Structure 1
């Protein structure tokens, strides 16, 4: 079978390589060339387990290395990265320095790993994407960079993309064409896929860059920072602001990736009137502690801006074509879902390409049926992610409510990862965890939890006066709500918003996975991503 993948970011390059290992003739097409800058830099445990499954199934040992920061540092040290131990959140008040106390009234830390060796990584995409393209070429993938595709025909059951490369005409044939590019991708234009953004949906813009000389907040703010499960800045750091929020991702070579996510058209207009570098600086100056962090910082590349982050297309796949998840939809970088969801798409398409490797007729029928399943599941996940993310934006000004709401996300993430590492995939997935819904998208219990969590957050927002609010605190209400999926000891006021990876809490909750405490203890080594974990 002839496969064409459009876009050579990490997901496109991995998919091209997987398809080649599965026995197909593969062409990988890239409009630009590597190395190049790209966003989407923060990995998660669900991304790690997808990488490990891909590594085990297709013999791609380098993907196993990229799944944990310790292995990465040992096996591919030439690729720059950052140590990511978890998720850090701060709530700022405009015009005032960051304030905090022993109870962490404006600070939340949630660890994603017990130590540095198995921690996630911040991906310097310039290095990672280049590395993965070269690995795809070494596996036998035909790679065409500086190639602009501008036409597509379908004849005799095949797609025929055409374009130009360095002045020469390019004509390709594809039994399957996959768009792994990004906003306004090739297939969306050529197939006339409609946008499917809901009316009244979240709208945010982004001002972003890479900087040197950034100081961690805990070094410049005159506030309490009780000892947490990891150093605050070795994480995906989120500064919650009146206008939206700011992210910071620290790389080991001293560079910080930072961006302001600005909500609403009116707030964005005041930003868009300035050059991006001036807008970034002006935003830091609204918050004295951020201004102190960036006082001596300098960009290592031009600061840039994107006016509208949200995108959604009407379909994810059809006969002979598919979009990777990030092409179907992008909603927000708030919970670092992008890498993991894209890798799930790669896994699923890899499994479909395996099924299509048999006799041409039967293989084609299996591929068509599989693409229908792929389309249905991705669209359900896209809806789920939007419903998961938007309430967090709405309650960000009330840190008690925000803290409580995020516990639902962390319950879903930790439950999904632990379930996939310790239990076999259920029959409805065909024995492959890749076909389970991302972050609980097909789990009725988690669906109910998110719906009720959103309702509670909205109820608190609509009742701003203390005497109007229920006697039960947001965190107590959330602890009760997430109990059926709370493996990690979350929503516990006694932890004072500092959540380590607690293996004893996991053992105590073994029954939620249908295990005894002894069975759970025996399986704990699988959580470190040793070969054989997952399917």
Structure 2
């Protein structure tokens, strides 16, 4: 304590020190340095290195567009599209055109009808499977170009906060003085350890452990089944494939799934509820993986002949949360604040939500030399709100996997929320590009706290009601079939859902928005939708596009018809 007190009289040598040089730390370092702040970036490891969080979604990419424009860091926008990543960042990354879900039962063949797909719209950009070791290393170089100072192989062991700043101490005894500390290091956060910030026990409902690695020679799933077996409109290997079953799921994220691919690797992971699938004793992670997939006749063949190219990682319970994520002169962000599961690929989206909200507040705090906790209050609300929303989303999915019809219903609730939330962020960003009014983005931040569509009460209520029914199923007070039927009926009768989505149609297990459907949705938004939702859908489909690509002469409907003609030509 005496040593910490002595440092309190020393002047800070940096404005912000960021612990952790993963994508969260490097993006934040880039935008703060671009704004003229003196940024120190410390990391216990070096680059390149393995990292989880490889799959993007449209919401992630739109946030990347938003952060790039808002903070004038155009390099971030390169991450927002497959084309940009291939051109500027890493040809080792893969393409993502869909979410694919195949439902399995132990000892039984996969039923072709028990498959779901959410194709991702390509009219704005195509999503990515990030090869994180390349992406993170590239983003570190961006932070350096904007002026951030980087120290690698520095293990921060202590953080002391005082009235005048913070003192960070390394394992080697080095010290640094700074005005503000952002910990973006992950689960082993030195700030969380020092301040005892982890919730014990965690409030989170979800409970899973994980095994993961990178492999070669993983077969594309569509090569293992006769053509036309499933009703998917895109090959399973063109997206993130989820093998789902009672108590868990397997992810298959290929980096080798496009014509110009140079990377033979595929990211593979197995997440299991330990209450259903306890961790075995005296077994390596690879032995457990092989033994587990052997129970499923239509999963095991995908991995015949495949082998890992890095050590398997096996965790205990992977979920954690924090009692507090913001304090005087400090903030936990990204996975330092909490984590749920890789399911639904929301990790990077949540990270960029926090960076978007934290960046400008931190810039203003440094310039005004005012680090009052109150000015960062919304950042805390956003981190905790997104964590709770993702917890509901994933815990309910695991519950639904006990019964395919219930999963089918929850899949639709999730996909509808995705579409409507995409419209919301598209509209907000489009309005910002048109007006330059920062308060539009600040208003969006307040809505994002809830994680789900925040501007329209009936949509929020549909999600809440469905979530409550999944909780009842989990607690054994509601039969899965009854819950599934009730949720499907709520989707079928919701007047705020575009009929073209087909969310309430039982046989429509591929929620595919074709150019024809986009035209139908625009017509519905103008004539039949509740006014508030009609404006959201119409502006969400057209507003951003018109400002983003060709101001003054872009016609979204014309572009839709062009896309339809191109599809027919193929």
Q: What interval of TM-score do these two structures reach, taking the shorter chain for normalisation?
A: 0.7 to 0.9
The answer to whether residue 545 in structure 2 is matched with residue 525 in structure 1 is: yes
The CA distance in 1 between the partners of 2:204 and 2:542, in whole Å, is: 49
The answer to whether residue 444 in structure 2 is matched with residue 433 in structure 1 is: yes
2:6 counterpart residue number: none
1:408 counterpart residue number: 413
The CA distance in 1 between the partners of 2:91 and 2:320, in whole Å, is: 30
The answer to whether residue 61 in structure 2 is matched with residue 48 in structure 1 is: yes
The CA distance in 1 between the partners of 2:56 and 2:551, in whole Å, is: 20
1:129 counterpart residue number: 136
Provide the secondary structure at the position in 2 that maps to 1:210: strand
Out of 274, 283, 302, the position equivalent to 1:274 is: 283
Out of 391, 399, 407, the position equivalent to 1:394 is: 399
1:187 counterpart residue number: 191
The CA distance in 1 between the partners of 2:239 and 2:547, in whole Å, is: 20
The CA distance in 1 between the partners of 2:335 and 2:550, in whole Å, is: 28
Q: CA deviation at 1:219?
A: 1.8
Task: Summarize deviations over 1:489-521 as a string: whole Å, max 9, x none.
Answer: 151427621122241343123544453998677
The answer to whether residue 374 in structure 2 is matched with residue 369 in structure 1 is: yes
2:567 counterpart residue number: none
1:67 counterpart residue number: 80
Note the 1:134-145 alignment, pairs <5 A: 134-145=141-152
The CA distance in 2 between the partners of 1:185 and 1:338, in whole Å, is: 17
Task: Summarize deviations over 1:32-90 as a string: whole Å, max 9, x none.
Answer: 100011111111111111111121123322211110112322333x3421111121111
The CA distance in 1 between the partners of 2:73 and 2:225, in whole Å, is: 44
Q: Which moved more, 1:224-233 or 1:51-60?
A: 224-233
Q: Is the 8 A contact 1:23 1:357 kept in 2?
A: no
Q: CA deviation at 1:376?
A: 2.5
Task: Summarize deviations over 1:441-472 as a string: whole Å, max 9, x none.
Answer: 75554442222012334556758879x84895
The answer to whether residue 352 in structure 2 is matched with residue 347 in structure 1 is: no
Identify if the C-alpha distance between structure 1 residues 158 and 485 changes in structure 2 by more than 3 Å, giving closer, same or farther.
Answer: farther
The CA distance in 1 between the partners of 2:499 and 2:349, in whole Å, is: 20
Note the 1:63-142 alignment, pairs <5 A: 63-76=76-89, 78-100=90-112, 105-114=113-122, 118-142=125-149
Note the 1:122-521 alignment, pairs <5 A: 122-164=129-171, 169-195=173-199, 197-198=201-202, 201-221=205-225, 225-252=229-256, 253-265=263-275, 267-270=277-280, 272-360=281-369, 363-365=370-372, 368-423=373-428, 424=431, 431=442, 433-437=444-448, 439-440=451-452, 442-443=454-455, 444-458=457-471, 462=476, 469=482, 472=485, 474-481=487-494, 483-484=495-496, 489-493=501-505, 496-501=508-513, 502-507=517-522, 508-509=524-525, 511-515=531-535
Identify if the C-alpha distance between structure 1 residues 4 and 490 changes in structure 2 by more than 3 Å, giving closer, same or farther.
Answer: farther
The CA distance in 2 between the partners of 1:13 and 1:153, in whole Å, is: 23
Q: CA deviation at 1:248?
A: 0.9
Q: Is the 8 A contact 1:38 1:125 kept in 2?
A: yes
TM-score between the two structures when normalised by the length of structure 1: 0.88
Identify if the C-alpha distance between structure 1 residues 71 and 154 changes in structure 2 by more than 3 Å, giving closer, same or farther.
Answer: closer
Task: Summarize deviations over 1:307-360 as a string: whole Å, max 9, x none.
Answer: 121011111101100011322111111111100100111111111123224343
Q: CA deviation at 1:118?
A: 1.3
Q: Is the 8 A contact 2:64 2:352 kept in 1?
A: yes
The CA distance in 2 between the partners of 1:114 and 1:51, in whole Å, is: 16
The CA distance in 2 between the partners of 1:312 and 1:403, in whole Å, is: 29
Provide the secondary structure at the position in 2 that maps to 1:436: helix
Q: Which moved more, 1:140-149 or 1:185-194?
A: 185-194
Q: Is the 8 A contact 1:31 1:148 kept in 2?
A: yes
2:70 counterpart residue number: 57
Q: Is the 8 A contact 1:178 1:324 kept in 2?
A: yes
Q: Is the 8 A contact 1:460 1:469 kept in 2?
A: no
TM-score between the two structures when normalised by the length of structure 2: 0.83
Identify if the C-alpha distance between structure 1 residues 8 and 531 changes in structure 2 by more than 3 Å, giving closer, same or farther.
Answer: farther
The CA distance in 2 between the partners of 1:93 and 1:232, in whole Å, is: 19
Identify if the C-alpha distance between structure 1 residues 316 and 460 changes in structure 2 by more than 3 Å, giving closer, same or farther.
Answer: closer
1:3 counterpart residue number: 16
Unaligned runs of 5+ in 2: 1-13, 257-262, 555-570
Identify if the C-alpha distance between structure 1 residues 352 and 488 changes in structure 2 by more than 3 Å, giving closer, same or farther.
Answer: farther
Q: CA deviation at 1:522?
A: 5.1
Q: CA deviation at 1:298?
A: 1.2
The CA distance in 1 between the partners of 2:60 and 2:304, in whole Å, is: 34
The CA distance in 2 between the partners of 1:449 and 1:222, in whole Å, is: 38
- CA-atom RMSD in angstroms: 3.0
The CA distance in 2 between the partners of 1:224 and 1:22, in whole Å, is: 53
Provide the secondary structure at the position in 2 that maps to 1:121: strand
Identify if the C-alpha distance between structure 1 residues 489 and 170 changes in structure 2 by more than 3 Å, giving closer, same or farther.
Answer: same
Q: Which moved more, 1:152-161 or 1:45-54?
A: 152-161
Unaligned runs of 5+ in 1: none
2:39 counterpart residue number: 26
Q: Is the 8 A contact 1:419 1:513 kept in 2?
A: no
Provide the secondary structure at the position in 1 that maps to 2:496: helix
Task: Summarize deviations over 1:279-321 as a string: whole Å, max 9, x none.
Answer: 1111111111111110111112122211121011111101100
Identify if the C-alpha distance between structure 1 residues 382 and 521 changes in structure 2 by more than 3 Å, giving closer, same or farther.
Answer: closer
